[in-house]
Amino acid sequence: MPGLVLRIAGNSSIPRVIRRPLTHETSVGGTDDTGASMEIRSLQYAVTLAEELHFGRAARRHHIATPPFGRHIRRLERELGRTLFQRSSRRVTLTPEGERFVDRARAILADINELAASLRADGGMPYAREPHRHSGPPRPCSCWGARRRST
């Protein structure tokens, strides 16, 4: 179905199909024949963890708590079937598979940012424009949908 991400979920012998709307935050590339999809956020989290090599600092950069960040990374590794990060009580290091994945993830994120920037420049992404900046105290203006008062 176009516009939907289909995932096979569940650990039982009877899989469930989860349907949800496809958005720019949901997945890259939709689904393949295995039902797996890759979330843009997963790529961002993996790149940040590779840069920080610390779950707490990486989670803070994304403004989330450490436990959900760690669960997201574990879910990504489980989805890929590979260990991307070697963990110990004091250290986080990249595995060889993790290095390859993070290099490719950086390239993909750069392509996504370039695409978004070019579409913004062409006027093709009206919802991704920079927010309107106001100077001075708040006042109604046309960008807020307020009607101008006639004097």
Q: Per-residue pLDDT tens for 81-138? A: 999 999 998 899 999 999 999 999 999 999 999 998 888 887 765 554 455 555 555 5
131 phi and psi angles, rounded to 5 deg: -65, 150
In the chain, domain spans: 1-37, 38-126
Q: For the domain with range 38-126, which CATH number is right: 1.10.10.10, 1.10.1060.10, 1.10.510.10, 3.30.420.480?
A: 1.10.10.10
Which is more confident, 134 or 59? 59
Which distant-in-sequence residues (6+ apart) come within 8 Å of 110 by Cβ? none
Of 20-29, 43-52, 134-143, the range with the highest mean pLDDT is 43-52
Q: Is the pLDDT of residue 11 over 50?
A: no
Q: The whole model's pTM is what?
A: 0.60
Which is more confident, 24 or 138? 138
Q: What is the pLDDT of residue 96?
A: 96
Which distant-in-sequence residues (6+ apart) come within 8 Å of 123 by Cβ? none
